[in-house]
Amino acid sequence: MAIKYTKHFLDKLENLFTETEFMLRYEKGNFKSGYCVLNESKIVIVNKYFPLEGKINALVDILIELNFNPQDFMNKSNQDFLTEIRQTHLKF
Give residue limits of the domains in the chain.
7-86
The residue ranges of the chain whose pLDDT is under 70 are: 89-92
**49-60 residues labelled b (16+ CB within 10 A) or e (exposed):** ebeeeebbbbbb
Read off the pTM.
0.87
In this prediction, residue 4 carries a pLDDT of 86
In this prediction, residue 2 carries a pLDDT of 79
